[in-house]
Structure 1
Amino acid sequence: MRVRSALYLLLFVALSSFTGPIKSFKKLDDGVLVELEQTSAADPQYVKLQVIADNIIHVVAAPTREFGNEESLMVIDTGKAPAGWTIKENNDGLVLSTKSLQVKVAASTGEVTFQDKAGNTILQETGGSGNAFTPVKFGQEKSYALQQAFKAADGEAFYGLGQHQTGLMNYRGWQVDLTQYNSVAVVPFMVSNRNYGILWDNNSITKFGDVRPYQPLSSLKLYTKDNKPGGLTATYISAPKSGKAPIVRLEKDINYEFLEQLKNFPEGYSLEGGTVTWEGYIEPDASGEFHFSMPASGYVKVWIDNELLLDKWREAWNPGQSVFTQKLEKGRRHPFKIEWNPDGGQSFIALRYLTPQTPAEKSRIAFASEAGDKINYYFVNGRNIDEVISGYRTLTGAAQVMPKWAMGFWQSRERYKTQEEILSTAKEFRKREIPIDNIVLDWSYWKEDQWGSHEFDETRFPDAEGMIDELHDKYNMHFMISVWPKFYEGTANYKLFDDKGLLYKTSINEGIRDWIGKGYVSTFYDAFNPEGRKLFWKLLNEKLYSKGVDAWWLDATEPDILSNSSIEHRKALMNPTYLGAADKVFNAYVLMQNKAIYEGQRSVAPNKRVFILTRSAFGGLQRYGAATWSGDIAATFDEMGRQIPAGLNFSLSGLPYWTTDIGGFFVENKYDRPEPKGEALEQWRELETRWYQYGTFTPLFRSHGQFPYREVFNVAPADHKAYKSIVYYNKLRYRLMPYIYSLTGKVYHDDYTIMRALVMDFGQDKKVFNIGDQFMFGPGLLINPVYEYKATTRSLYLPAGTGWYNLYDGKYVKGGQQLTADAPYERMPIFVKEGAILPFGPEIEYAAEKPAETITLYVYGGKDGKFELYEDENTNYNYEKGKFAIIPITYNEAAKTLTIGKREGSFDGMLKNRTFNVVYINQNRPKELQFDATPDQVIKYSGKSKSVKLK
């Protein structure tokens, strides 16, 4: 960073031994403040390095002598700097040293470089990406557009940044748009395979990676399908029954991304039942690999050079983002075609591109934000990615131990419309002895014109409190309810918030109506306002929590005040906020809304674990007892495949709890209009089966979606292979509860990550850097979802450096190889890491049905192994006070010895005695996964260390 101007020069030490931007510096209690010569009007004036920990450095730069004192929304109190750090000057500039890092400010440029103690460069700033500060104004509020670039090492891979559903795993070379949106969850924390991360502490819309602005299609030379210059041939064909002739016109751009742009369709043309084709030729003025970005809904296919590059469906009302590349040649006319079936009366499509990167651009990454008073980021280093994520949580807060019941199965649908539907569903699960812990009530349980009342419609839910009691007492189920930050104009709660100035009023003033009934005018409350948060919780507490609600489903927390409105209009709809212009805090609404519920519940029930499921995310969300689901996604195999890297990058962002709508939220017409039959029905069942298999091994196991109903007994009859497979994996999840709940404990106590991209555990194997459709579930299980229709095998990679066992038959396979694994309809390929120790509990129908007095311990030989069995009181926060227990379990390969170590810690109600049935597997002794198999050893355990030989 280049720094300029002067601040209290008498307090600074001048550097006169060399020439360069550095004018002076001042040592602080926790770092150093550096003043540099001004070299450009766009450069910052001051840079500050703050030591947070030996491996965490806070970097701040400002364009004036004032850094501003606004409180970070993401980062909590970082405490005092560790002892032992130093600041020195030399001919090259300044060097701040900690026990593990050297941080240099270059005399010649003012750029910051992070090195290890041996002097090896980890990360280096570079000024080559453009202006650091560009003045902007939001109403009367002045701010800056910010940009900071870094050099990227050869072969370096980048992950994290929240949840993005383009199918990418490694973001190297791509642009990642950090804008909150239904199905896009923003976390501005990037992780590198080189074992460092950057937390970009900015709340505005941000871009990462290749931050150059996308170009409209019209920036290319365009030709019609007849090779005439000026644009593409656009053909609008109306619904066959309309009797209307096709409309053909010349178009230079395809840009129907938002509501405001739909007026640009041909006058009189209706998307309902119609199709659109764009065709012709595109000619670039450069050669190389072009990147294309297409937000679209409906059915869309894209060809360039007669090669099909995209073939996707997404529900009309909720477009999804796709990216693809194609090599183009300067001066050559490339055949180009798009076929679009909007599949609805209101649908969206756009196309834009980035020109090929120069070599310099390829070696650079950047963060670029729309608004902020300063460049503000944290560099986090570690020996591995787990330590990097631990550093992120040091900054932003620990993730709690989720209640044990939350780790069981969740059943939901859009939506249960009556009390009877909920109770009859609960009854059916228990009748069929299918494990389940939670049932969910989605939106519209209120009277039609009373959104925001938080009250049940008594005609459909005559005794809501009694219903919840029955779920608790009769069916041993927990109950989650959907809550929106939305209020209909004129309702009592609207008036309550409005009288205190706690509502966003733009949508009211514009008279925007939603999609319910005749349409109602509504708005959201300002969650940035502390008074608003307290009042919102007060309503929830009085209307819902007092009735026994166990968990909160916070929907539309992007915030989604008007779906598919332009980004500028979305900002206007939440302006002004308590903290100022919405432009500066746009991405952080979800954090404040979750804060309201978490702090509210803990204020009235301080020892009952909070559980929140929310549709968005932001840095620090994990500290509020919150999980995120991937939004209103489509029910297709392609969409399922995109969930896998989305969830892995979300986990790499430091947030450990994530889930999808098993089966996808919204379905194609063939599945529900009318009810599916024949091939459509069987395709639907297979999609559900494959998604359930995958969902079993996501951190949260949850089914949700629109009709057809998603309960397994509504998916298929009990004798169908879909039903059998879904129930098999459900029961396997519950058998694994000792393993899963131990991982949940490890999330809090060790900053662990449950759903693990392969780069986390096999970072020395370059072949895993781009693998986004396989992952580790905890330390032992390699999960390989099947997301192709009618597939009976799947190609997968077994990471090098270890051997692997097939979970089902116990057969050994060497690592470091590509494998075509069997994947029959009923089974997903799962492999167990050599040295793994897997604890399986008893067969149960809900998580707390009975303690695991007998644990079947599968031990996979070949390497040393370890596992810590974690237990606590399941539903309270006493673990924060030390009330938990850990049983260390180790396996020594050389001695063929298994040791159940001395129990550490205790808690009320702890099981003091138990039995471990040990099943030993090695390369020469494959064994099927059978919980009633004769054990190789039986260990009676009472808390003292015991060792046994395994043969």
Structure 2
Amino acid sequence: MTKPIELKRRDFIGALACASAGPLALPADAATALPSALDGAGQLRALRMGPTPGGFAWRRVAEGVQFRSGDLTKSVLFYGAGLVRVAAHLGEAHTTQPSLVVVVRPKAVACEVSDSADTLTIAGPAVRVTVDKRSGALAFFGADGRLLTRERGQAPTELQRVEIAGSLSYALTQTFTLTPDESLYGLGQYDQPYMDYRGRDVLLVQTNIGIVVPFMVSTRRWGLLWDVYSKMSFSDRPDGATFRAESAPAGADYYLVAGADMDAVIRGYRQLTGAAPMFPKAAFGLFMSKERYQTQQQLLEVVRRFRAERFPLDYIVQDWQYWGGEQDGPNGREWDGKWSGMVWDAERFPDPAAMTRELHDKLKVKLMASIWPGVGNDTALARELDAKGLRFEPLHWISKRARIYDAFSAEGRRIYFKHVKQGLLDVGVDALWMDGTEVEVGGAAWDPREVEADIKALGVTAMGDTTRYLNVYSLVTTRGVYEGQRAAGPGGKRALTLTRSAWAGQQRYAALPWSGDTTASWATLRAQIAGGLNVSMAGLPYWTQDTGGFFVNFPDGQRNPAYRELYARWNQFGIFNPVYRIHGTSIDREPYLFKTLDPAMYGSLLRAAHLRMQLLPYLYGLAWRCTHEGYTMMRGLAMDFPDQAALRKVDDTYMFGPAFLVQPITRPMFHPVLPPPATVPATQLRTPDGQRGLVLEYFEGIDFDKPASRTIDTVVDHHWPDPPLGSLPPGLSGLNRFSARWTGEITASEGGEHEIGVEGDDGFRLWLDDKLVVDDWAIGGARFTSHRLTLREGQTLKLRIDFYQAGGNRVLRLAWRTPSQQRDLARTQRQLDKRQATLLPAGHDWFDFWTGERHAGGRSTERDYALDEFPLFVRAGAIVPLGPVVEHTGQSPEAPWEIRVYPGADGGFTLYEDDGETYAYERGERATTALRWDDARRTLHIGPRHGRYPGMVTRRELRVRLMAPPGRSEQTHTVNYQGRATTLRFDPSDPTR
């Protein structure tokens, strides 16, 4: 080793010669004398250095090392212990834009640089990086010397200069070589039932039901954050795992995060991108929402009914159209230019301030209101935005008189929030729901290609072209409302924003994503579990979804017992989400509506909601850990058991905090779900003149206004995607606001009872033998509406279908269930199984939460589950604080708490309390109490209370239960806790050991 050399700037080039003879070590204070690798915007500077043998040159910089390999300029920069930024370009960055995601600057570090013939080694805080001089490929090693991951050995970083919308950028391909035994999680939610991305392809484009967060974690305890905002993709193949980006003007730009475990890795992500502030305490109760409450009176009546039934509720949600602007059109109600103007319709919501006062003061409920990025022309908000040129030209799909505001502009965000405050917050709205933030333009699209085309059609934002900024609208628009609310200062109310999209760093703006407009099915519920876990493991601590599914296509809706069973199971999953929320369209789903319709199902909903409220002390303690420690509440099993290979692809079971193992039931046990009806085959359809199929006529307009074309449709099964993904039907100028008609005959293939109907999105009608048998003429999501009748084999009926499309999806299908298909359904009923098996992680014992039975880990257990129970286990060593059953989070703050101790291992939990409403906790107005269980000594240590805040409960009764299996006596202690430390001792000879 050479002795440490103190480098001055003028000595720098000379130091390179010294480095060639051996490693270069720098004392801590030397880094401050070195040049920075970054310019003022945080972009990588060009490396200016004379030619060197082999085409490789390097220099030490204040934050790490910068080198050139061939045409590539690359930097390895340290942002803290375990945090390494890798940036690369072809001599220059084509942007001066500071990061939208990373909020910290790199640190001047003391790192050891060793130079050998083939390898440059940079040993920094908690990470060692080696550079292959032949290719510039990097390898990353942890503090213990273990390989974390490495770039591909040949051509790991591929950059191609491109010009997009008149600006220079790079198309990027970056490839890594993974180890065979690791699994990968994160990246967001893509409506898939799997979590591990090994061997998978992922298109990273926001959609209605897709949440993109470009952070991935590995079971080898590393993570990767991409600071690129364009369309991206990830693919894992035998030759490497590859990220591709369409537009990366800075070049390659990623952060390698290393840690002792996945929690440390995610904590590093939050260190880079910002901590998640505390939500209001009420956010951990129930949100009741629907599409939509029509009037002020209806909304209040719903809340009054909740209180009358004593069903827990903390937030009532007002969805769209409270601003008015509706008018009668040929197909029902249509909307004009008042869209999302942040005002209340005077007829339907005559006194919103009085409404919020009653909600707050009498009913003890908070109000969340929906807002959109599309702003109607006939609003003061639009006029103020337009005066500064801050709305994009394309029209929003919902109205010919609404356009998207430019949230990439600081001035646009300021104007938008000004109207949010005046119209909503100042009249008492407590939380915001920012819908359509992917951003939705041409329709509520599920296909990422449609969203991509819509966003690019917006043109140029205040920051640059939309190709570069394709994925980050949600980040910048939630920033605007958060910063606006925080301007009130530390005494202000805590912000809470629900958003249909997300991006890395969005957690710092108190914004949580939900999974969009799902369709109710067991498969959807199954995919929600995996998706929510991957959002959480992508670094966002809060996530929620539409409990019960947004669209409900079950025949007879809530009157269908198969749907009610699904709803009950979905609700059990909902209470173990970070935020518990019921929402949807198609049906009424307020829980009390099922009290007489289905008492068993209602009992399941109520028992789950009561458990959620009892868990408030546990939930609020976890929330503090999320803010204070960068913790993750909803945890894939790989987070806590990364080395148990059998658990890595378990996608329906997860940890909720340190105590609970949760396995929602994702299949019917009592009522079978009918499979989708079959599309009527072409052999059973005839046109009026005898040809196979039906006559299809297209019309411009939603009321058959202008004939466009006429053709023969052999099979009526349509999903019309926007060009260029699909072609326009003849004669139509576009695929929004058109209508169609099918005519001909249908022939029964067998005798018996048939179910014949239409699956469609928006309005449709069906006539059989000139009789209107299906009349579903309303804007709405895809659903199947049918008619039952008995037919003879070979019997022929005249048939006509009318359809109109207003916006969103474009689906129309003629379908049926024949007698033989219905007999198959009856057999399905007899195959239902009420038993559910659960694989318990090894290394711990587990207690069945409902029965108390104790099970050894490392094997599977199974039993029958009634509708009000599901697989829920508590890890041995867990401490679970429970509060009373309350109707809202602010009720009975001084009530006793039950502290459950599950023996079998040491454990701990920290109780957390604050005022639940303001940011005073940030200046120390909060209180914590540490609980620690010593299993060998059978003692519970209750630590002293640290901190205080105005209104704090200073005296609380704690009822401590040492949990025991069935048939064995529990030990209990009661403590009148006043903030002083105490130790509780339990009988060491008790049979629970």
1:568-625 CA distance string (max 9 Å, x none): 5323332101111100011111000000100011113642110000000000000001
Relative to structure 2, which stretch is displaced further, 159-168 or 906-915? 906-915
- Among candidates 829, 832, 839, match of residue 797 of structure 1: 839
- Among candidates 523, 540, 546, match of residue 655 of structure 1: 540
In the other structure, the counterpart of 1:336 is none
In the other structure, the counterpart of 1:188 is 214
Q: Against the structure 1 CA distance between its residues 493 and 468, is the aligned structure 2 distance closer, same or farther, given a 3 Å change threshold? A: same
In the other structure, the counterpart of 2:233 is 207
In the other structure, the counterpart of 2:275 is 398
Question: For 2:157 and 2:131, how far apart are their aligned partners in 1?
Answer: 19
Once the two structures are superposed, the pairs formed by residues 61-460 of structure 1 within 5 Å of their partners are 61-66=88-93, 68-78=95-105, 80-81=107-108, 83-126=109-152, 128=154, 132-210=158-236, 361-373=237-249, 374-447=251-324, 448=326, 449=336, 450-460=338-348
Check the 8 A contact 1:697/1:777 in 2, yes or no. yes
Match status 1:763 vs 2:642? yes
Once the two structures are superposed, the pairs formed by residues 848-887 of structure 1 within 5 Å of their partners are 848-887=890-929
Question: For 2:842 and 2:852, how far apart are their aligned partners in 1?
Answer: 19
- One-letter amino acid of the structure 2 residue matched with residue 520 of structure 1: K
DSSP 3-state at the match of 1:142: strand
Question: What TM-score do the two structures reach when normalised by structure 1?
Answer: 0.78
- One-letter amino acid of the structure 2 residue matched with residue 439 of structure 1: I
Check the 8 A contact 1:561/1:573 in 2, yes or no. no
Q: Percent identity?
A: 35
Relative to structure 2, which stretch is displaced further, 18-27 or 601-610? 18-27
Once the two structures are superposed, the pairs formed by residues 770-789 of structure 1 within 5 Å of their partners are 770-789=649-668
Check the 8 A contact 1:147/1:367 in 2, yes or no. yes
- One-letter amino acid of the structure 1 residue matched with residue 585 of structure 2: Q
1:136-165 CA distance string (max 9 Å, x none): 221211211111111110121000001121
DSSP 3-state at the match of 1:531: helix
Q: Against the structure 1 CA distance between its residues 619 and 462, is the aligned structure 2 distance closer, same or farther, given a 3 Å change threshold? A: same
Q: CA deviation at 1:191?
A: 0.4
- One-letter amino acid of the structure 1 residue matched with residue 406 of structure 2: D
Check the 8 A contact 2:287/2:316 in 1, yes or no. yes
Following TM superposition, the consecutive aligned residue runs of length 4 or more in structure 1 with deviations greater than 3 angstroms are 8-12, 14-22, 65-69, 127-131, 489-492, 922-927
Question: For 2:979 and 2:157, how far apart are their aligned partners in 1?
Answer: 62
DSSP 3-state at the match of 1:906: coil
1:364-391 CA distance string (max 9 Å, x none): 1111111012100000000000000000
Q: Against the structure 1 CA distance between its residues 552 and 462, is the aligned structure 2 distance closer, same or farther, given a 3 Å change threshold? A: same
- Among candidates 638, 644, 649, match of residue 523 of structure 2: 638
Q: Which has the higher contact order (CA 8 A, sep 6+)?
A: 1
Q: Against the structure 1 CA distance between its residues 634 and 472, is the aligned structure 2 distance closer, same or farther, given a 3 Å change threshold? A: same
Check the 8 A contact 1:861/1:923 in 2, yes or no. no
Q: CA deviation at 1:853?
A: 3.8
In the other structure, the counterpart of 1:465 is 353
Check the 8 A contact 2:69/2:135 in 1, yes or no. no
- One-letter amino acid of the structure 2 residue matched with residue 611 of structure 1: L
Question: For 1:122 and 1:852, how far apart are their aligned partners in 2?
Answer: 49
Question: For 1:67 and 1:521, how far apart are their aligned partners in 2?
Answer: 37
Check the 8 A contact 2:171/2:247 in 1, yes or no. yes
1:407-453 CA distance string (max 9 Å, x none): 10110011101111100000001001111110000011112221032
Question: For 1:899 and 1:917, how far apart are their aligned partners in 2?
Answer: 14
Q: Against the structure 1 CA distance between its residues 441 and 66, is the aligned structure 2 distance closer, same or farther, given a 3 Å change threshold? A: closer
In the other structure, the counterpart of 2:613 is 734
Question: For 2:577 and 2:451, how far apart are their aligned partners in 1?
Answer: 31
In the other structure, the counterpart of 2:459 is 575
Question: For 1:109 and 1:413, how far apart are their aligned partners in 2?
Answer: 56
Q: CA deviation at 1:640?
A: 0.6
Check the 8 A contact 2:85/2:254 in 1, yes or no. yes
Q: CA deviation at 1:457?
A: 1.0
Match status 1:747 vs 2:626? yes
Question: For 1:153 and 1:534, how far apart are their aligned partners in 2?
Answer: 48
1:846-876 CA distance string (max 9 Å, x none): 1011224411111111111111111111111
Check the 8 A contact 2:838/2:871 in 1, yes or no. no
Once the two structures are superposed, the pairs formed by residues 530-569 of structure 1 within 5 Å of their partners are 530-563=410-443, 564=445, 566-569=450-453
Once the two structures are superposed, the pairs formed by residues 50-65 of structure 1 within 5 Å of their partners are 50-65=77-92
Gaps of 5+ in 1: 1-7, 39-44, 211-360, 928-933
In the other structure, the counterpart of 1:683 is 562
Check the 8 A contact 2:381/2:416 in 1, yes or no. no
- One-letter amino acid of the structure 2 residue matched with residue 126 of structure 1: R
Once the two structures are superposed, the pairs formed by residues 457-606 of structure 1 within 5 Å of their partners are 457-505=345-393, 507-508=394-395, 514-515=397-398, 519-563=399-443, 564=445, 566-604=450-488, 606=490
Q: CA deviation at 1:491?
A: 4.1
The two structures, once aligned, show a CA RMSD in angstroms of 2.1
Q: CA deviation at 1:176?
A: 1.1
DSSP 3-state at the match of 2:182: coil
Question: For 1:776 and 1:852, how far apart are their aligned partners in 2?
Answer: 29
1:300-326 CA distance string (max 9 Å, x none): xxxxxxxxxxxxxxxxxxxxxxxxxxx
Relative to structure 2, which stretch is displaced further, 789-798 or 414-423? 789-798
Q: CA deviation at 1:669?
A: 5.4
DSSP 3-state at the match of 2:349: coil
- One-letter amino acid of the structure 2 residue matched with residue 776 of structure 1: M
1:503-556 CA distance string (max 9 Å, x none): 111x14xxxx634xxx52321011001100000001111111110110000000
Q: Against the structure 1 CA distance between its residues 568 and 787, is the aligned structure 2 distance closer, same or farther, given a 3 Å change threshold? A: closer
Match status 1:670 vs 2:555? yes
In the other structure, the counterpart of 2:718 is none
Q: Against the structure 1 CA distance between its residues 552 and 427, is the aligned structure 2 distance closer, same or farther, given a 3 Å change threshold? A: same
In the other structure, the counterpart of 1:806 is 848
Q: CA deviation at 1:935?
A: 6.3
In the other structure, the counterpart of 1:917 is 959
- Number of residue pairs aligned between Structure 1 and Structure 2: 767
Q: Against the structure 1 CA distance between its residues 457 and 142, is the aligned structure 2 distance closer, same or farther, given a 3 Å change threshold? A: same
Relative to structure 2, which stretch is displaced further, 536-545 or 120-129? 120-129
Question: For 1:850 and 1:881, how far apart are their aligned partners in 2?
Answer: 26
Check the 8 A contact 1:129/1:366 in 2, yes or no. no
DSSP 3-state at the match of 1:691: helix
Check the 8 A contact 2:621/2:910 in 1, yes or no. yes
Relative to structure 2, which stretch is displaced further, 479-488 or 782-791? 782-791
Question: For 1:85 and 1:425, how far apart are their aligned partners in 2?
Answer: 62
In the other structure, the counterpart of 2:47 is none
Question: For 1:209 and 1:604, how far apart are their aligned partners in 2?
Answer: 45
Question: For 1:753 and 1:444, how far apart are their aligned partners in 2?
Answer: 35
Check the 8 A contact 1:793/1:824 in 2, yes or no. no
- One-letter amino acid of the structure 2 residue matched with residue 76 of structure 1: V
In the other structure, the counterpart of 1:13 is 16
Question: For 2:213 and 2:377, how far apart are their aligned partners in 1?
Answer: 32
Q: Against the structure 1 CA distance between its residues 22 and 195, is the aligned structure 2 distance closer, same or farther, given a 3 Å change threshold? A: farther
1:864-920 CA distance string (max 9 Å, x none): 111111111111111111221111111111111111111222222222221111111
Question: For 2:154 and 2:654, how far apart are their aligned partners in 1?
Answer: 36
DSSP 3-state at the match of 1:741: helix
Question: What TM-score do the two structures reach when normalised by structure 2?
Answer: 0.75
Question: For 1:470 and 1:787, how far apart are their aligned partners in 2?
Answer: 39
- One-letter amino acid of the structure 1 residue matched with residue 518 of structure 2: I
Question: For 1:453 and 1:916, how far apart are their aligned partners in 2?
Answer: 50
Check the 8 A contact 1:22/1:34 in 2, yes or no. no
Question: For 2:945 and 2:462, how far apart are their aligned partners in 1?
Answer: 50
Check the 8 A contact 1:782/1:833 in 2, yes or no. yes
1:824-858 CA distance string (max 9 Å, x none): 22211111100111111122111011224411111
Question: For 2:968 and 2:639, how far apart are their aligned partners in 1?
Answer: 28
Q: Against the structure 1 CA distance between its residues 776 and 130, is the aligned structure 2 distance closer, same or farther, given a 3 Å change threshold? A: closer
